[in-house]
């Protein structure tokens, strides 16, 4: 009899596990209570990038007079933007449903709960079904964290999920939280025409990122008129008619038209019935080993719920690895465990920011000898052609072997360009492997080749 796998959650983690396991011969049931494609994925990751693309188009149009065009209208139409976002969501959901159906994955709409070690119950308006499982995969994702000091009204006091797009464009948006999501929203609102204040609890935006990279972004924000409240922790949010007021622990007060909270997420695990199967949790996350097994070996966890890197790309890879492990399909010669330290990531601000592997600052704080080469995009012909010479490429390599250990890119298309360095870092390529590759001219990628010289 085929292995029966029940997956809870139809985001990137659940879907990739489902399609891979089905291809490997499993009977797969996937239970999703909301949107096939994933709530965090389709209701945060994708619409935020789609809105940023619209904001970027507006900025580009406003700059285009410098490129020999007459000024064109760049007025924002929030209703049209909303339609665009819904259309993208529908399209991606349909694509995912079609893919799952083509692999004969059984899709069940409903909320799932674990009843015992081998039974998952799904409940919906249509009724209750108990699903027997040899393997259970938990891929329930996460949702925005809401602190007790902020009463979300989904209108002027918002989480990210209220903002695709907001009901009205903020005349002055106050963004609380200066991690990846916070700075993306600063960029997004500013590019759409809002005044923006960013409340930064530390002294650096993007804490944890390479300080030089964070400084480049900060400089750009200041140039665009963004107000930074540095070293200020928000402690209260109140509404006064159409105004919102944010109180900070150092006594400062920010006033605006809207507040957006971007202070992290919490795992969707509280009503899953994990205790019925003895699955342990840590602050709501399900700890997993390198094969993504929980403390109960036939119950795996993936995606945001696993408490590892909360990225769609990581969730997808974890889902696939679980399917291969559970189906005994690991090829011992080719198998690699996920190395989270080598995951490429990007921040879709303007300029874009992307990095992978070892950061220069981390190498120095660890006392590790590295070679760092940095090339500004201003030296690439393509930057002049694009009328945008902001940013740089930085490569961190081993001085003895030339092996690429990491890198950061700030500038246009950084999120695409980082793939070259990600390939190098994951596969142990050297700077001369990059430098000896014949690249297209004129491209921004030539700055990578120069930095690898
Ligand atoms: C603003 C924002 C921007 C982001 N941008 C990026 C980005 O640019 N790049 C990137 O790689 N990542 C990005 N991410 C992160 C990314 O969205 C998540 O890491 C990814 O979606 C996690 O996938 P998942 O499968 O774990 O969870 P999800 O995508 O949330 O899917 C989990 C699914 O489980 C379902 N579920 C939960 N409980 C139950 C239950 N009991 N029964 C049935 N179904 C259930 C939920 O409805 C949900 O659909 C962003 C996140 C945010 C918040």
Domains along the sequence of the chain with CATH? 4-144+267-326 (3.50.50.60), 157-263 (3.50.50.60), 341-452 (3.30.390.30)
At 236, which helix (H) or strand (E)?
strand 234-240
Which residues, listed in sequence order, are joined to residue 354 by a DSSP beta bridge? 346, 409
Structure confidence at residue 123 as a pLDDT band (50, 70, 90)? very high
| Ligand 1 neighbourhood includes 316 CB (under 6 angstroms) | no
Ligand 1: residue of 41, 43, 115 to mutate (most ligand atoms within 8 A of CB) is 41
Position 72 pLDDT exceeds 80: no
Report d(CA 43, CA 432) in Å as an integer.
42
Ligand 1 midpoint to CA 44 (Å): 8
Structure confidence at residue 331 as a pLDDT band (50, 70, 90)? confident
Ligand 1: residue of 31, 32, 39, 45 to mutate (most ligand atoms within 8 A of CB) is 45
**Full-model pTM:** 0.96
For the CA of 35, the closest atom of ligand 1 is 49
pLDDT in the model for residue 395: 98
Residues contacting 169, CB < 8 A, separation 6+: 76, 78, 192, 193, 194
Structure confidence at residue 67 as a pLDDT band (50, 70, 90)? confident
Position 83 pLDDT exceeds 80: yes
| Ligand 1 neighbourhood includes 41 CB (under 6 angstroms) | yes
Mean pLDDT for 62-73 is 81
The β-bridge relationship of strands 299-301 and 119-124 is: unpaired
Structure confidence at residue 333 as a pLDDT band (50, 70, 90)? confident
In the block, tokens 């990038």 appear at 49
Centre a 10 Å sphere on the Cβ of residue 369 and count the other Cβ atoms it contains. 9
CA-closest residue to ligand 1 atom 3:
45
């Amino acid at each position: 009899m085929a292995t029966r796998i029940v997956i809870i959650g139809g985001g990137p983690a659940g879907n990739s596990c489902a399609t891979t396991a089905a291809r490997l011969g499993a009977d797969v049931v996937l239970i999703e209570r909301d949107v096939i494609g994933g709530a965090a994925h389709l209701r945060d990751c994708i619409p935020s990038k789609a809105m940023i693309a619209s904001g970027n188009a507006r900025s580009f149009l406003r700059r285009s007079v410098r490129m020999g065009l007459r000024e064109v209208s760049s007025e924002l139409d929030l209703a049209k933007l909303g339609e665009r976002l819904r259309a993208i969501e529908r399209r991606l959901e349909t694509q995912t449903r079609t893919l799952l159906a083509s692999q004969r994955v059984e899709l069940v709409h409903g909320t799932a709960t674990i009843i015992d070690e081998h039974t998952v119950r799904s409940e919906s308006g249509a009724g209750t079904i108990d699903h027997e499982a040899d393997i259970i995969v938990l891929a329930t994702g996460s949702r925005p964290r809401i602190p007790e000091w902020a009463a979300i009204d989904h209108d002027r006091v918002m989480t990210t999920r209220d903002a695709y797009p907001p009901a009205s464009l903020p005349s002055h948006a106050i963004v609380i939280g200066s991690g990846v999501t916070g700075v993306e929203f600063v960029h997004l609102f500013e590019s759409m025409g809002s005044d923006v204040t960013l409340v930064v609890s530390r002294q650096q935006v993007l804490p944890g990122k390479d300080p030089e990279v964070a400084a480049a972004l900060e400089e750009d924000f200041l140039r665009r008129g963004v107000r930074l409240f540095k070293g200020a922790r928000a402690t209260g949010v109140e509404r006064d008619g159409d105004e919102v007021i944010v109180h900070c622990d150092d006594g400062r007060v920010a006033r605006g038209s809207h507040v957006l909270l971007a202070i992290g997420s919490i795992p969707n695990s509280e009503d899953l019935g994990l205790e019925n199967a003895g699955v342990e949790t840590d602050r709501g996350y399900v700890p997993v080993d390198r094969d993504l097994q929980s403390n109960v070996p036939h119950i795996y966890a993936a995606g945001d719920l696993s408490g590892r890197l909360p990225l769609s790309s990581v969730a997808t890879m974890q889902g696939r690895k679980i399917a291969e492990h559970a189906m005994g399909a690991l090829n011992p010669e080719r198998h690699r465990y996920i190395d989270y330290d080598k995951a490429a990531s990007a921040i879709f601000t303007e300029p874009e920011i992307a990095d992978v592997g070892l950061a220069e600052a981390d190498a120095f704080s660890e006392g590790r000898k590295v070679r760092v080469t940095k090339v500004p995009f201003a030296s690439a012909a393509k930057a002049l052609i694009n009328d945008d010479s902001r940013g740089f490429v930085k490569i961190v390599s081993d001085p003895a072997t030339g092996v690429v250990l990491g890198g950061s890119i700030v500038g246009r298309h950084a999120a695409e360009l980082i793939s070259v360095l990600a390939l190098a870092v994951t596969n142990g390529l050297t700077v001369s492997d990059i430098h000896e590759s014949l690249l297209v001219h004129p491209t921004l990628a030539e700055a990578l080749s120069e930095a690898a010289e």
